[in-house]
Amino acid sequence: MFETPFTIVGNIITDPVRRRFGDQELYKFRVASNSRRRTPDGNWEPGNSLYVTVNCWGNLATGTSASLMKGDAVIVVGHVHTSEYDDKEGVRRSSIEVKASAVGPDLSRCTARVAPLPKPAAGPAAQPEPVDADDPGTDPDEAELPLSA
């Protein structure tokens, strides 16, 4: 399988969603990258925009969920692919997604403090609040987990 390396610099434009699939954690958000260009009179005008869904798994999900939120300036590195789905009306759609291998703040537009990921506790691992399996509107495998900082 061929994977296309990809880097995007932009801003997180959605409230990130944290989910658990079995023993895997996902932290998902959208990034917008907007270009600008200088006009002949010296002013700036908006250029093209690119919107990408970013998927962070495992330790990367842990680190990004503790560090980044909507509005933050980020740099994302990963592999890009097209995801196809049917919308509510049954129309086939596609979106650009990145399976991130690294995500961090864009230090040209913000400051940050770095801290290592917490080491796992020797006892039972802290688990997110359980999902009510009797609630017909909740799919336990796709339940949103509370964001923690």
Condensed to tens digits (0 to 9), the pLDDT of residues 89-136 reads 999 999 999 999 999 999 999 998 888 887 776 655 555 544 444 444
pLDDT of residue 1: 58
pLDDT: which is higher, 22 or 121: 22
Tell me how far apart the alpha carbons of residues 63 and 60 are, in angstroms, rounded to a whole number.
5
Instruction: Say which CATH architecture domain 4-145 belongs to.
Output: Beta Barrel (2.40)
pLDDT of residue 117: 81
Q: What's this model's pTM, rounded to 2 decimal places?
A: 0.73
Average pLDDT over residues 7-27: 95
Look at residue 141 and tell me whether its pLDDT is greater than 60.
no
Q: List beta partners, residue 74.
A: 10, 105
Q: What percent of the chain has pLDDT over 70?
A: 80
